[in-house]
Amino acid sequence: MRAGSLRRKGVLFDVDGTLVDSAYIHTLAWWQAFRQSGFDVPMARIHRCVGMGGARLVDHLLPDGRDTAVDEDVLAAHSGIFGTYWPALRPLDGARDLLAQCCESGLAVALASSARDQDLKALRSSLAADSFIDAATSANDAKESKPEPDILVAALRAVGIEASDAVYVGDAVWDVYAAARLDIPTIGVTCGGTSEAELREAGAVEVYAGPRDLLDNLRDSAIGRLLAG
């Protein structure tokens, strides 16, 4: 937590596809990684799984009867390929301003990401918003990845707030499912490529086009209600 701050409510944010325009970069990196190991997995199938942890995504998309030793090869290949795109990472419009507004409104701000530590560092660098972020969790902080809630639990602990005093913002159905297991309301954003209908069907309490749209409607959003409550 920032020095001298005591924040009793907070907002947890997914990062890939929610704050940084990287969901399709991950899709391409996974597609190339699968091909390197001899698997031709359609990009559409891959994109629908982005947001899961890497090991879960690989297990979900590859055939059940495979030699699972190949999984580590795919994970390593994805890591290397995605790393080549670090210099190209860009925040989505309004992302930094949204984090700043939440912080300045008195809310704890935590990044609850399934990314590896080194990828999360690159994503945070592209955001240039560390002064507005109280804590961040990565794949290393959770035994199970989304849709399990472990990463969100770690983020709540890191900022010292209860699930009942939090809102989550994410772009994938896996984000919504994970938050629902803790009864945390999720604000969905479609900037990661998942439709409003899919996010609402998964249980999102409201859906916006992206960080700027959410920021423009912050007072009337679930975050605004959290502040007013």
Count how many Cα atoms sit within 13 Å of the Cα of residue 66 in the half-sphere of its side chain: 18
- pLDDT tens, residue by residue, 169-203: 999 999 999 999 999 999 999 999 999 999 999 99
User: Quick one: which of 13, 52, 7 has its CA closest to 30?
Assistant: 52
**Beta strands 186-189; 108-112: pairing state:** unpaired
Cross-strand partners of 109:
11
User: Quick one: which of 186, 109, 194 has its CA closest to 149?
Assistant: 186
- Over its length of 229 residues, how does the chain's per-residue pLDDT go in tens digits? 444 345 799 999 999 999 999 999 999 999 999 999 999 999 999 999 999 989 999 999 999 999 999 999 999 999 999 999 999 999 999 999 999 999 999 999 999 998 999 999 999 999 999 999 999 999 889 889 899 999 999 999 999 999 999 999 999 999 999 999 999 999 999 999 999 999 999 999 999 999 999 999 999 999 999 999 8
Single-letter code of the amino acid located at 13: F
Percent share of the chain, pLDDT over 90: 91
The Cα 155–Cα 141 span in angstroms is: 9
Structure tokens at 156: 């709540």
The Cα 158–Cα 10 span in angstroms is: 11
pTM metric for this prediction: 0.95
